[in-house]
Amino acid sequence: MLVLSVPWWEFVLRGVVVYLFLLVFLRLTGKRQTAQYAPFDLILLLILSNAVQNAMNAGDNSLLGGLILATTLIVCHMLLSRLSFHFPRLGRLIDGEAQVLIDRGQVNRPLMRQELITHDDLTAALRAGGCLALHEVERATLETDGHITIVLRRTVP
């Protein structure tokens, strides 16, 4: 239960490598993918976690090995959060930047294609933002977390 089959530092190294790999992989999948998890997205995450488990634990199923890996992943996450806060360029590299999806009723179609946002996704976001037509939108922004923020045009009474 407490006997490791590999040295403790190997757990730490494997955990850091897998954490960074998944961070880059998930960043490259696009904003939409991280904002709205469909059933197949959740299945992918579950399979990914199972696939990288042995890469991290080297076949060691000890309690101590699991605790070392869990601690490593949490420390990586905390460290990256702090570094992103203190170094905004790193934060932008990891999280990306918000992008304008609709400006004064005009849709940025290349951005929709790039981020794999369908017409149905866009109309659902518009309805959630309280509008039914594009001409009502002053600006719609694709946020770094994948959500779409809608700002309606002001109407003069």
Torsion of CA 123, 105, 155, 152, to 10 degrees: 50
The whole-number pLDDT of residue 38 equals 62
Which pLDDT value is given to residue 108?
Answer: 97
- pLDDT confidence of residue 21: 86
Q: Please state the domain count of the chain.
A: 2
Annotate 38-59 with DSSP letters as a single string.
Answer: -HHHHHHHHHHHHHHHHHHHTT
Whether residues 65 and 85 share a domain: the answer is yes
At 4 the pLDDT is 84
138 neighbors 153 (Cβ within 8 angstroms) = yes
Neighbours of 78 (CB within 10 A): 10
In a domain, 2, yes or no: no
Same-domain status, 19 and 86: yes
Same domain, 123 and 76: no
* Per-residue pLDDT at 94: 84
* Distance between CA atoms of residues 123 and 117, nearest Å: 10
| pLDDT tens series, the chain, 157 aa | 778 888 889 989 988 998 888 888 777 766 555 555 666 666 777 777 877 888 888 888 888 888 898 899 899 989 998 999 999 999 888 888 899 999 999 999 999 999 889 999 899 999 999 998 899 999 999 988 888 999 998 876 6
Q: In terms of residue numbers, what domain contains 103? A: 99-152
13 and 57 fall within a common domain = yes
Q: What is the DSSP letter of 105?
A: T
What's at 66, amino acid-wise?
G
Residue 1 falls inside a structural domain: no
In a domain, 127, yes or no: yes
